[in-house]
């Protein structure tokens, strides 16, 4: 079986920062509440002209530069997103056009905050079965467009951004094991409902233009997040027959610093082995792990030979983990 690994990493973050003190002026909240309950200090917000596909394209170009591979060599593009700028064409097709990856097949994956790992595992299978040789896996979210900026329960948590990697055959190491799971029955814990008001036959014409917003049952989600992420780590390590003590780094989805601490406790893993950057970006949904992995590698925390677990949960509900040997 062909070994598949990460050949290059990239990211793009909008320049506009929204700090906790900015949010204090928008809703009834405080820097102290946000920091102690979530660990977030600031997040990035895309400019009005910046679409999800623009964020995805910039992250893709950054990953191609890092891998020193030209776009013509890419034969698969998978974009993970729940905030596309159009239902169709897909974000992947827009990226393909923008970077001129003429030979690439392209499609999107919708798995909320687990999207990057679902996309990574999907692209890996394409390469292992010979359908593709080199893939661009991108996670891009302009989640600010799905947030009710008058609702303090949700607006303090999220931010925009994009991360990407180039996947291809490697001689040793690479992605050693994958774990994907879904709990559709718990889908109502976090959702963006496109209301029936979107129908042209709806009597409430005023509601017709209402945007759908993120709705979330935060406390219930918190418990599920901790259990499903800890379980996903255990499962992926069991598959690879690797002990927790052999893991060098865990790069988790960055939804809440308290969730990350609780996962570390449940697993009995010291928090210093867990990469955290939620303070700078908040929850960027699918893009969180993609950006965190880029930063863990570029800051030289992840070194050659390290065993790294990526783990996530997200709306759906869906959870996932991958074990990578660098």
Active site residues per annotation: 113, 253, 283
Residue 251 and residue 269 in contact, taking contact as beta carbons nearer than 8 Å: no
Asked if residues 307 and 273 have their Cβ atoms less than 8 Å apart, the reply is no
Using CB under 6 A as the binding rule, whether residue 226 contacts ligand ACO is answered as no
Q: Which of 4, 76, 139, 156 binds ligand ACO (CB under 6 A)?
A: 156
CA distances from 138 to 5, 92, 255, 290, 303 (A): 15, 8, 19, 8, 22
Complex with ligand ACO: residue 81 or 285, whichever CB lies closer: 285
> Judging by beta carbons within 10 Å of its beta carbon (0-12, 13-18, 19+), is residue 110 exposed, middle or buried?
middle
**Interface with ligand ACO by CB under 6 A: which range of 9-17, 152-160, 228-236, 303-311?**
152-160
Our finding on whether 255 is near ligand ACO (CB under 6 A) is: yes
Burial of 252 (0-12, 13-18, 19+ CB in 10 A): buried
DSSP 3-state percent helix, strand, coil across the chain (nearest 5): 40, 25, 35
Per rule CB under 6 A, is residue 192 in the interface with ligand ACO?
no
Rule CB under 6 A: is residue 318 a binding residue for ligand ACO? no
Under the binding rule (CB under 6 A), the answer on residue 279 touching ligand ACO is no
Counting contacts by CB under 6 A, is residue 227 touching ligand ACO? no
Helix (H, G, I), strand (E, B) or coil at 281: helix
The reply to whether 152 sits near ligand ACO by the rule CB under 6 A is yes
* CA–CA dist 194, 202 (Å, integer): 13
Which one of residues 225, 250, 267, 289 is an interface residue with ligand ACO (CB under 6 A)?
Answer: 225
Whether the CB-CB separation of 59 and 160 falls below 8 Å is answered with no
Nearest to 15 by CA among 292, 281, 263: 281
Q: In the set 87, 172, 219, 245, which binds ligand ACO (CB under 6 A)?
A: 219
Q: Does 8 bind ligand ACO (CB under 6 A)?
A: no
Q: Which of 256, 277, 319, 322 binds ligand ACO (CB under 6 A)?
A: 256
Positions in the binding site for ligand ACO (CB under 6 A): 29, 33, 37-38, 112-113, 152-153, 156, 190, 216, 218-219, 221-222, 225, 255-256, 259, 283, 285, 314-315
């Amino acid at each position: 079986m062909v070994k598949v690994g990460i050949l290059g990493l990239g990211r793009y973050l909008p320049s506009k920062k929204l700090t906790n003190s900015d949010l204090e002026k928008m809703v009834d909240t405080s820097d102290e509440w946000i920091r102690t309950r979530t660990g977030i200090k600031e997040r990035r917000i895309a400019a009005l002209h910046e679409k999800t596909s623009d964020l995805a394209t910039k992250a893709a170009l950054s990953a191609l530069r890092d891998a020193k591979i030209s776009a013509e060599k890419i034969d698969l593009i998978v974009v993970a997103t729940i905030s596309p700028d159009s239902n169709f064409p897909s974000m992947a097709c827009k990226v393909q056009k923008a970077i001129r990856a003429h030979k690439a097949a392209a499609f999107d994956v919708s798995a909320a905050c687990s999207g990057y790992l679902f996309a990574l595992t999907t692209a890996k299978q394409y390469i292992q079965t010979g359908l593709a040789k080199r893939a661009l896996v991108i996670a891009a979210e302009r989640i600010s467009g799905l947030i009710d900026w008058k609702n303090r329960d949700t607006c303090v948590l999220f931010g925009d951004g994009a991360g990407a990697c180039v996947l291809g055959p490697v001689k040793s190491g690479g992605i050693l094991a994958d774990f994907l799971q879904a709990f559709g029955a718990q889908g109502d814990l976090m959702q963006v409902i496109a209301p029936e008001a979107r129908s042209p036959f709806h009597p409430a014409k005023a509601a017709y233009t209402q945007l759908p917003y993120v709705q979330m049952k935060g406390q219930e989600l918190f418990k599920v997040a901790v259990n499903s992420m800890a379980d996903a780590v255990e499962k992926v390590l069991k598959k690879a027959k690797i002990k927790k003590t052999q893991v060098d780094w865990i790069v988790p989805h960055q939804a809440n610093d308290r969730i990350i601490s609780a996962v570390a406790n449940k697993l009995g893993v010291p928090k210093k082995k867990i990469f955290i950057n939620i303070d700078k970006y908040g929850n960027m949904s699918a893009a969180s792990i993609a950006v965190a992995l880029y930063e863990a590698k570029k800051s030289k925390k992840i070194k050659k030979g390290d065993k790294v677990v990526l783990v996530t949960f997200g709306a759906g509900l869906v959870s996932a983990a991958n074990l990578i040997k660098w």
